[in-house]
Structure 1
Amino acid sequence: MMRRILAAALLGLATLAQAAPQHAITLYDEPPKYPADFQHFDYVNAKAPQGGTLRLSDFGGFDSLNPFIPKGNPASQINLVYDTLTFHSLDEPFTEYGLLAEKIEKDPQQRFVRFYLRPQARFADGTPVTAEDVVFTFNTLMTKGDPMYRNYYADVDKVVAEDRLRVRFDFKRAGNRELPLILGQIAILPKHWWDSRDFGKTSLEPPLGSGPYRVAKVDPGRSIRYERVKDYWAKDLPVNRGFNNFDAVVVDSYRDLTVALEAFKAGQFDFNEERIAKNWATAYDSPAVRDGRIVRQELPNDNPWGMQGFVFNMRRPVFKDVRVREAISLLFDFEWTNKQMFFGSYKRDRSYFENSEMAAHALPDAEELKILEPLRDKLPPQVFDSVFEPPVSDGSGIIREQKRKAYRLLLDAGYKIVDDRMVDPDGKPLSFEFMLAQADFERVLLPFKRNLSELGIDLQIRLVDVSQYVNRLRSRDFDMMVASWPQSNSPGNEQREFWHSSSADNPGSRNFIGLRDPAVDALVEGLIAADSRDSLVHHARALDRALQWGHYVVPNWYLDTWRLAYWNRLAHPQKLPPYSYALMTWWQARENAEPSTATAQQESR
């Protein structure tokens, strides 16, 4: 009896030790890379010069400085105004270090997480950050914020201010390992400031935060200027050393990407992440590039890519039949598009977890089958015995075999050709609209439109302005569009917002497809509840297969590098992290760009 009592006491002590407040938390309780007494991250230059202005660009303009609500287009880089409870390490898959929170206490059974706020934490007006601000922030986001928050934090039961500097989040159920980490990523709002304002309305009033910058000047829709908070309370914390080296950050908005690129080459802004392959291949032949004033670099991007594709809105009856969706997908000729338009620079996206170990690129193994087998009657049979592969052409532009297969699928679905038009059993033409906000993308769709028309399918391309695009997207008023679902190294609760039935009707969610599938719901919940890295990988692959064989999108393409161009007045650390180019660790090396023969050697020596 005494032995059992002693054993129980030891177990209790072990649990208490496990739950002791920590300087950092990880997903599976593995040790963080950096110890409690670390001075700075490995990927920063802790002695980087301070000063100067970083000039950036944005596409589409803005009409709001409130990024937390489903209304308006928020200004780019507005996150610089806010601090979060924790800081996400850029060279670890998923580790959170204390920022506003000095310590984090995570319950071993994942039933709660407790944050201990730093006594010195201040908003920019000098008001201390307290537990009441955290409670206010969470409750406001859940009741008045973008609907995505209600999905993202669905497992939170309540938040309690235990004292002035200690706040606890209680969960509805045990076992959600990701939830403590993503709660740490909440940007904390000042209760005293918002008490006299309407959180649910868009506003161009500069907001109050506790972050390293403040909004200094606003030219609505055109430009915004952020200036460093001179007495920023956290500037000497280890998580901030080497960051926020510019005195000011200015973002100019452009409504045309071609105009923006010309402005960059003319020196109107300093940094450009190039996302258009044609531009990267042909548009940078300028004196500033040739003499080294503009540096071009391709840096490895080790992040999971996720999926980009032409999205079928399943709310539309025309896309209910999987055979129709697959037939349409067959008529996109990626190889020709990549060769003729992208200079062969892209790879075909075929996984919702592309560029990662979580991608389902082989037959399911025994562990995956254990996950999938209980759902066999709810999943396509190919999930169990086939590897998903998008069609591959020879790049000539002639896709006869793909057209034949698409035609057979449409016949099986009850369609037929009448007067050169593909019609359903009721005689209704197979016709739909593709909504676009970027004019440059139209050239990609025109060959797709031509292939569809050769089978009697009518695709109309509708180009709309950014505000109309956003409104129609939120009201789900579209047939098809292009969208992407970025993934992290540790996917979790955000998968509900992407694929779960509970998010299908939320205008702020990324469930653009309108998915309402019990099998997908079960696979999402299983992924969120994974209790080890190995389990997470197997659950992600299982979910991937269900999404692949649902033919919910026409898969596009991806790139496993960052294509960066910048004026050589900027410099970056010699060692950048694997999951980000970490722009806020860069600095101004000189006031003006200068010709140089060593165009890529802009790092601190």
Structure 2
Amino acid sequence: MTADPAWTCASKTQHRSVLWGAMMSFLIGVFAAGSVWSEEETIVSHGYSFYGDLTYPADYPHFDYVNPDAPKGGEISFSALGTFDSMNPYTRKGRGGALSTIMFESLLGEGTGGTTAPADVYAEYYGLVAERLEYDVDRNWVIFYMRPEARFSDGTPLTAYDVEFSQKLILEQGLQSYADAVSKRITDIEVIDDHTIKYSFTPGISRRSLIEVVGGMSIWSKAWYEETGARLDESRLETSPGSGPYMIDTIDVNRRIVYKRNPDYWGNDLPFNVGRNNFDIIRVEYFGDENAAFEAFKAGEYTFRTEGNSRQWASAYDFPKVNNGQIVKKELPDGAPPTPTGFVFNLGRDIFKDRRVREAVALGFNFEWTNESLQFGLFKPRASFTQDTELMAVGKPEGAELAFLQSLGDLVPDEMLTAEARMPHTSSANRLLDRRNLRQAMKLLDEAGWAVDANGKRRNADGQPLEITFLLNSAGSSTLRAVVENFLSNLQAMGIDTVLEAVDASQYTSRERDRDYDLVFDQYIPFLSTGGGLQQFYGSEAAAFSVFNPAGLASPLVDEIIEASQRMETKEETDVTLMALDRALRYEFFMIPAWYNDSFWVAYYDKFEHPDVIPTYALGQLDFWWYNQDKADALRSAGALR
């Protein structure tokens, strides 16, 4: 799913994935479901669907892609870069540890560590803590019927009162962008009995992302919060007991986090979990930089590596353990749309309010030279937020998409109706500085009022220099740094003063949250369906403070398209609006798209096994891979592991 193989700042990636995992559990999704209509015109189901049927029936034995006979046991370990000082990822304060949401479950389930489950279909979720749900045809309310056997890891029952408490806590103390959005959509939460809870929704709003939002929210122990006085908006290492298959074993701040499988996990035999959660131990090792992490992998200090550095993938795996088969190096298919990564403009900066300046800066990035000279020609240029899917806008709008855009009136610029969807510029692969693009960029800067002075520097009419600061995590990959440095050298050739500020992981997180940068290498989300999460990432309402909108994008056009997508009743109508959304996001031009890879690059010690067919939407190494004890013993006997 990752689209940025040079984007190897694991501390950033892990932090983002923790927040992403936390938010994905209650922001995004259209859950499909098989349904039964009753005389009262309510729907009772083992899942939820906006459109229609679930792939898996109510009596499914397990997900198709898992090995139901996978053995339980063993340890898998991976690396993270930088530091952490908190195990609470639901606040802007502190740096959350990797997988710090892994302990918590929701009424409708997800994969280990916030990934997708089931991973072979898109946007289909099934009951986990909830055995079934019931809702009226108009989706004015939903009732979840919970499994009475559900337990927290301390052995206490998980009840509807915990669900109610968790929902109210996230609204009162959670991330503001989520709390503001959801509080407007829920009118009432009613505990009917210990294992039944009802949500009522605001009349007159889209029925999208209502049931799925409340069904996907993490559940915490009410008793623990009341006994400890802990707050959700504070940085802390202590955590509420969770109900999930894994629990915290040990924490060594900035060095290591160890999770262990709960031997008394209440849901181990549910069809949802068959063939999953197979490792006894999941260990995360922290390192100060990418080089230290890679050397530690070679030495056997951790055992599984999802490679993100193209240079390392192409040239650094020629060492004995790979050559003799003790380490497996392979590419596995990734069927999900690539993550929209790239160089993000801080639209709050005055210099970037002029589109011509953004266009000129973009022309300084030479993907073709970068790919050939720094990335071994391994990547493709990304253009779209729905890259290589049926929702990717191509050419000029026509048919239903054109009609939809025309229906939005003056919100849609004429250019969007008549021009082809924005595509990245092309550059010469033979030299870093493409003269043709340089001339075009210089002309744009002249037109924008940034003239060249006697010293070759760009200044405006008031004599102020054109300066751009690029924020970079110093713990990240050397390849990414080289990409940025060469990009900035092209900007300097245009007369732009550039500053590369490489800061440690802690400073990087703090400054990124405060948007203390002009440019940053960051990411948004791809989408194959609509949902409340689109507003969190791309909408205006939370643009000023959302940690998921690093550009601060606030576009009335984008807002209206998102709203329209959530009013549509059929998948076909929705898809039309999402294609238009991709076109609009590319038109708004708040990010210089980078590159993508349609495979997972993995290297691991040969003691892990996986299904013959990797499902479309997840690599699943922590979820449905398993441990081979005989192979592990052989590696240990050979001295390959520490």
- TM-score of the superposition, structure 1-length normalised? 0.92
1:417 equivalent in alignment to 2:452: yes
Q: Tell me how far apart the structure 1 counterparts of residues 634 and 41 of structure 2 sit (CA, whole Å).
A: 56
Q: Tell me how far apart the structure 2 counterparts of residues 121 and 43 of structure 1 sit (CA, whole Å).
A: 25
SS in 1 for 2:48: strand
Equivalent residues of 1:273, 1:562 under 8 A apart = yes
SS in 2 for 1:403: helix
Alignment of 1:181-580 (within 5 A): 181-196=212-227, 197-199=229-231, 200-387=233-420, 388-397=422-431, 398-419=433-454, 420-437=456-473, 438=476, 440=478, 441-506=480-545, 508-580=546-618
- The one of 627, 631, 634 equivalent to 1:588 is 627
Cα distance change of structure 1 residues 218 and 115 upon mapping to structure 2, 3 Å threshold: same
Q: Tell me how far apart the structure 1 counterparts of residues 505 and 176 of structure 2 sit (CA, whole Å).
A: 21
Q: Which residues of structure 1 form unaligned runs of 5+?
A: 1-12, 597-605
Residue 517 (structure 1) shift: 2.0
Q: Tell me how far apart the structure 2 counterparts of residues 588 and 14 of structure 1 sit (CA, whole Å).
A: 44
1:159 equivalent in alignment to 2:189: yes
Equivalent residues of 2:87, 2:236 under 8 A apart = yes
1:81 equivalent in alignment to 2:103: yes
SS in 1 for 2:271: coil
Q: Tell me how far apart the structure 2 counterparts of residues 376 and 338 of structure 1 sit (CA, whole Å).
A: 41
Equivalent residues of 2:106, 2:216 under 8 A apart = yes
Residue 559 (structure 1) shift: 1.1
Q: Tell me how far apart the structure 2 counterparts of residues 255 and 541 of structure 1 sit (CA, whole Å).
A: 41
Tell me the amino acid that sits aligned with residue 359 of structure 2.
E
Residue 318 (structure 1) shift: 0.8
CA RMSD of aligned residues (A): 1.9
Equivalent residues of 2:385, 2:527 under 8 A apart = no
SS in 1 for 2:43: coil
Residue 291 (structure 1) shift: 1.0
Residue 56 (structure 1) shift: 1.8
Deviating more after overlay: 373-382 vs 211-220:
373-382
Q: How many residues align?
A: 582
Cα distance change of structure 1 residues 595 and 208 upon mapping to structure 2, 3 Å threshold: closer
Tell me the amino acid that sits aligned with residue 214 of structure 2.
L
Tell me the amino acid that sits aligned with residue 332 of structure 1.
F
Equivalent residues of 1:301, 1:578 under 8 A apart = yes
Write out per-residue CA displacement over residues 433-487 of structure 1, whole angstroms, 9 at most, x where no aligned residue.
Answer: 0000125222001221121111101111100111111111111221110111122
Deviating more after overlay: 53-62 vs 336-345:
53-62
Cα distance change of structure 1 residues 212 and 59 upon mapping to structure 2, 3 Å threshold: same
Cα distance change of structure 1 residues 520 and 479 upon mapping to structure 2, 3 Å threshold: same
The residue aligned with 2:132 is: 103
Write out per-residue CA displacement over residues 336-377 of structure 1, whole angstroms, 9 at most, x where no aligned residue.
Answer: 001111111111111122232222122212222232224453
The residue aligned with 2:42 is: 19
Taking only the aligned residue pairs, the percentage that are identical comes to 36
Residue 53 (structure 1) shift: 1.3
SS in 2 for 1:95: coil
Equivalent residues of 1:44, 1:575 under 8 A apart = no
Q: Tell me how far apart the structure 2 counterparts of residues 379 and 31 of structure 1 sit (CA, whole Å).
A: 35
Tell me the amino acid that sits aligned with residue 265 of structure 1.
K
Residue 557 (structure 1) shift: 0.8
Q: Tell me how far apart the structure 2 counterparts of residues 490 and 56 of structure 1 sit (CA, whole Å).
A: 31
Write out per-residue CA displacement over residues 524-550 of structure 1, whole angstroms, 9 at most, x where no aligned residue.
Answer: 212233322222221112122222122
Write out per-residue CA displacement over residues 268-308 of structure 1, whole angstroms, 9 at most, x where no aligned residue.
Answer: 11111111111110111111111111111211111122421
The residue aligned with 1:55 is: 77
Write out per-residue CA displacement over residues 18-45 of structure 1, whole angstroms, 9 at most, x where no aligned residue.
Answer: 62321122231x2111111111101111
Tell me the amino acid that sits aligned with residue 123 of structure 1.
F
Write out per-residue CA displacement over residues 134-162 of structure 1, whole angstroms, 9 at most, x where no aligned residue.
Answer: 11111111110122422563533332212
Tell me the amino acid that sits aligned with residue 114 of structure 1.
I
Write out per-residue CA displacement over residues 481-505 of structure 1, whole angstroms, 9 at most, x where no aligned residue.
Answer: 0111122432421111112111112
Cα distance change of structure 1 residues 80 and 340 upon mapping to structure 2, 3 Å threshold: same
Q: Tell me how far apart the structure 1 counterparts of residues 368 and 41 of structure 2 sit (CA, whole Å).
A: 53
SS in 2 for 1:252: strand
The residue aligned with 1:90 is: 119
Residue 17 (structure 1) shift: 6.8
Equivalent residues of 2:88, 2:235 under 8 A apart = yes
Q: Which residues of structure 2 form unaligned runs of 5+?
A: 1-35, 110-116, 636-642
